[in-house]
Amino acid sequence: MKILVTGGAGFIGSCFIRYILNKYSDYKITNLDLLTYCANLKNLKDVENNPNYTFIKGDICDENLVNKIASNIDIIVNFAAESHVDNAIKTPDIFLKTNTQGTLNLLNCAKNNKIKKFIQISTDEVYGSIEKGYFKEDSPLSPSNPYAASKAAADLVALSYFKTYNLPVIITRCSNNFGEHQYPEKLIPYFILKLLKDEQVTLYGDGQNIRDWIYVYDHASAIDKIIHEGKIGEIYNISAHNEKTNLEITKIILDTLGKDDKYISYIKNRLAHDKRYAISTDKINSQLNWYPSFEFKEAIIKTIKWYIENQNLYE
33 close to 55: Cβ distance less than 8 angstroms = yes
Q: Which amino acid is at 306?
A: W
Alpha carbons 17 and 12: distance in angstroms, whole number: 9
69-81 exposure pattern, b = at least 16 Cβ within 10 A, e = fewer: bbeebbbbbbbbb
* Active-site residue (options: 33, 82, 124, 274): 124
How many residues in the chain?
315
For 29, residues 6+ apart whose C-beta sits below 8 A from its C-beta are 2, 3, 4, 5, 8, 17, 20, 21, 52, 53, 54
* Active-site residue (options: 127, 147, 183, 236): 147
Alpha carbons 199 and 221: distance in angstroms, whole number: 35
Active site residue 125: yes
Alpha carbons 158 and 118: distance in angstroms, whole number: 9
* Active-site residue (options: 59, 125, 212, 218): 125
Active site residue 124: yes
Q: List residues bridging with 48 in a β-sheet.
A: none
**What 3-state DSSP class applies to 136?**
coil
77 close to 121: Cβ distance less than 8 angstroms = yes
Q: Which residues are known catalytic residues?
A: 124-125, 147
